[in-house]
Amino acid sequence: MVTATKLPPPKVFNSELTQCWQALQGGRRVAIYRCLIDITGSLKTAAMLSQLIYWTRVSKEVAERDGWIFKSIAQMEAETGLTVREQRTCKNKLLETNLIQTCRKGVGAALAIKVNLDAIAELIAKSSGTDDQLALTLADLQNTSSLYLENTFLKGLLITETWFLLQAVSTRLYYCRVC
């Protein structure tokens, strides 16, 4: 027989659930662009692509390497929470849809990934119902005052901590308390 557990008041419950989640995740958050969920059809694939776009946007080294990103599986797992298998699935989907390119470069032939900005701009235009073919360059992406960036990506920003909290609550029907 299952007995019902009386939950604390919402303010306390939410605070403790957030503390529990932060303890499990090390307090890290991943930003996912809603438009990327639409064009990839998958939250996990959108999470990986969002992280790649983030590094393309903020890294000076990426600009110097013409958009190529070097991220190990361990680094990507630490940043996104995606397992090795999930990363492989996401990477394959992104390759199939031409949203990224990969090659082996540098010492030890490390895997390099490059975000295909033209393909992303085209799919975003299609998913938003506009016929305009917008060009998105590396310079545009790294320009934080870019109106394209503001109107396309940032307005649909989804912070995944909230999504994962909802997911945790809906899949695990028990109360998590931080000791």
Q: In this predicted structure, what is the pLDDT of residue 27? A: 55
Mean pLDDT by 10 residues, the chain (179 residues): 72 79 67 86 92 86 86 88 93 96 81 89 77 61 56 49 39 34
The answer to whether residues 96 and 87 touch, using CB atoms and an 8 Å cutoff, is no
Sheet of 68-70: strands edge to edge?
A: 68-70, 110-115, 100-105
At residue 114, the pLDDT reads: 93
pLDDT attached to residue 57: 83
Contact present, 169 and 17 (Cβ < 8 Å): yes
Give the pLDDT confidence score for residue 170 in this predicted structure: 34
Task: Give residue for tokens 């008041």.
Answer: 9
Instruction: Delimit the domains of the chain by residue range.
Output: 28-166
- pLDDT computed for residue 42 by the predictor: 92
Q: What is the pLDDT of residue 9?
A: 81
28-166 CATH pick, 2.60.120, 1.10.3470, 2.40.50, 1.10.10: 1.10.10
pLDDT at 168: 40
